[in-house]
């Protein structure tokens, strides 16, 4: 029985037939003849491969770069003197580019030494070569890396320039300090609950102005709710004065007060460290060059429906954990535009994005490659003309996390993208 041409099954079969025809056309156009495969020539003739370890580094060079009879593989330690000897050996072999494979942080210092010596460094993702059989030792790994790099078959991982790397180190340290402060805030809240001081139920922010003044008064020896409630700010309107007094009638003991005191001391220490880190970030931002502004065409005028809408007053976009110093003018100088005006981004998110990505977007071929690096685009797992999976790749990318959080913020706004 022949199915009608308008049935869902016939439309699905026709769609699959078109897919198979297109894939066959692509395979025919991309297929290389044996003669073309024989023309595979080295791209980097003076290439080396390094397998990085925590205690040893295995280095392989081309047999053409050494004297006949000598081994093309050497093993170096990780101490500074041994790393310097590794760099000098590569320079004596006239190596111009190196491929490094590492999964931890052991490659950082060697990368900088090679870069300072004028050697082009390719940091390679181990997932790109782990499926090759027969390369299960460090001795064989470095040779395989050297061979792949010689023919240009390895892709370089993204690593920003030195000024951006210094900023990235500081912004990541600042993020760790923010997490440490949040942990101490949770300890303070737990100690107050153990004292039956339900301060978290009557104020919005325990680490805010009102909360810290009341906590410091308790630690100073004050127990009378009538006196403690006087530290309440006039802007604190979550609960009435009577409810705040009831929440401050606690059952005090020396042990929980001791825990509360230590949590407050640690919180104060972390706040001082945050201020010191912000000072270092200011110096790092001053060392980043000014952006070259490219003149572009003016954007089209908004549609009348959007232009007639009255502008709503918005709260400050600095963020709760934003630095005390205003880095907006400096960020505008570095980026060429004020990125904080983008919906969903504030001062802190722009600062962290600059530390993770930098300003040189030419590192990626196009916007699609950039989204793939972020892990924000769907995958394409196809077999037999059938899409098996469109799941996005699992990546540990801080920039992608920031953009996802920005998307959540934008989705909650009363705008055309919300």
Q: Render each residue's pLDDT in the chain as its tens digit; 418 residues.
A: 455 556 777 777 777 777 677 766 666 655 544 555 456 788 898 999 999 999 999 999 998 888 888 889 999 999 999 999 999 999 999 999 999 987 788 999 999 999 999 999 999 987 766 655 655 788 888 998 999 999 998 988 899 999 999 999 999 999 999 999 999 999 999 999 999 999 999 998 999 899 999 999 999 999 999 999 999 988 888 889 999 999 999 899 999 999 999 999 999 999 999 999 999 999 999 999 988 766 667 666 665 544 445 555 445 456 678 888 889 999 999 998 999 888 889 999 999 999 999 999 999 999 989 998 998 888 877 777 777 788 888 888 899 999 999 999 888 888 777 6
Rounded to the nearest 10 degrees, what angle do helices 80-92 and 108-116 cross at?
Answer: 40
- Residue 307's pLDDT is 46
Provide the β-strand partners of residue 124: 101
- Residue 306's pLDDT is 46
Domain ranges of the chain: 47-150, 164-280, 315-411
- Residue 130's pLDDT is 63
Q: Compute the Cα dihedral for 403, 407, 413, 417 and give only its sign.
A: positive
pTM flag (> 0.75): yes
Of 245, 260, 271, give the one whose Cα is nearest residue 186: 260
Three-state secondary structure along the chain?
A: CCCCCCCHHHHHHHHHHHHHHHHHHHHHHHCCCHHHHHCCCCCCCCEEEEEECCCEEEEEECHHHCCCCCCCEEEEECCHHHHHHHHHHHHHCCCCEEEEECCCCCCHHHHHHHHHCCCEEEEECHHHCCCCCCCCCHHHHHHHHHHHHHCCCCCCCCCCCHHHHHHHHHHHHHHHHHHHHHHHHHHHHHHHHHCCCCHHHCCCCCCCHHHHHHHHHHHCCCCCHHHHHHHCCCCCCCCCHHHHHHHCCCCCCHHHHHHHHHHHHHHHHHHHHHHHHHHHHHHHHHCCCCCCCCCCCCCCCCCHHHHCCCCCCCCCCCCCCCCCCCCHHHHHHHHCCCHHHCCCCCHHHHHHHHHHHCCCHHHCCCHHHHHHHHCCCCCCEEECCEEEECCCCCCCCHHHHHHHHHHHHHHCCCCCCC
Cα separation of 49 and 349, whole Å?
A: 37
Other C-beta atoms within 10 Å of 88: how many?
11
Cα separation of 80 and 165, whole Å?
A: 21
- Residue 186's pLDDT is 95
Q: Which fold has domain 47-150?
A: Nucleotidyltransferase; domain 5 (3.30.420)
Q: 140, 54 in Cβ contact below 8 A?
A: no
- Residue 380's pLDDT is 78
- Residue 126's pLDDT is 78
């Amino acid at each position: 029985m022949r199915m009608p041409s308008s049935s869902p099954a016939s439309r699905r079969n026709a769609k699959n037939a078109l897919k198979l025809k297109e894939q066959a056309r692509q395979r025919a156009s991309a297929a290389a003849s044996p003669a073309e495969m024989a023309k595979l020539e080295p791209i980097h003739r003076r290439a080396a491969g390094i397998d990085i370890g925590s205690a040893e580094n295995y280095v392989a060079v081309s047999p053409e770069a050494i004297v006949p009879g000598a081994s093309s593989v050497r093993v170096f330690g990780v101490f500074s003197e041994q790393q310097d000897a590794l760099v000098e050996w590569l320079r004596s072999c006239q190596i111009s580019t190196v491929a490094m494979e590492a999964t931890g942080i052991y490659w950082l210092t060697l990368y900088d030494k090679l870069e300072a010596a004028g050697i082009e460094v390719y940091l390679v993702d181990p997932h790109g070569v782990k499926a090759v059989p027969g390369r299960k030792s460090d001795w064989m790994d470095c040779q395989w890396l050297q061979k792949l790099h010689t023919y240009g078959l390895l892709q370089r991982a993204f690593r920003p320039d030195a000024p951006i790397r210094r900023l990235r180190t500081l912004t990541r340290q600042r993020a760790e300090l923010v997490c440490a402060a949040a942990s101490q805030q949770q300890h303070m809240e737990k100690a107050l609950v153990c004292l039956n001081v339900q301060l978290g139920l009557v104020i919005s922010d325990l680490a805010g102005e009102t909360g810290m003044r009341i906590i410091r008064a308790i630690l100073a020896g004050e127990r009378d709710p009538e006196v403690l409630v006087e530290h309440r700010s006039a802007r604190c309107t979550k609960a009435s004065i009577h409810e705040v007094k009831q929440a401050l009638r606690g059952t005090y003991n020396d042990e929980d007060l001791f825990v509360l005191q230590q949590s407050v001391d640690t919180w104060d220490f972390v706040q001082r460290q945050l201020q010191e880190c912000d000072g270092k970030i200011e110096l790092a931002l001053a060392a980043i060059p000014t952006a070259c502004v490219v003149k572009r065409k003016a954007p089209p005028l908004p549609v009348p429906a959007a232009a007639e809408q009255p502008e709503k007053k918005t709260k400050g976009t600095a963020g709760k954990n934003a630095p005390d110093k205003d880095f907006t003018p400096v960020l505008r100088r570095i980026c060429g535009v004020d990125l904080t005006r983008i919906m969903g981004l504030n001062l802190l998110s722009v600062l962290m994005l600059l530390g993770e990505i930098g300003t040189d977007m030419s590192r990626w071929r196009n916007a699609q490659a950039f989204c793939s690096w972020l892990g924000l685009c769907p995958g394409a797992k196809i077999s037999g003309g059938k899409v098996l999976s469109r799941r996005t790749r699992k990546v540990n990318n801080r920039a992608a996390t920031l953009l996802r959080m920005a998307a959540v913020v934008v989705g909650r706004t009363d705008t055309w993208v919300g």
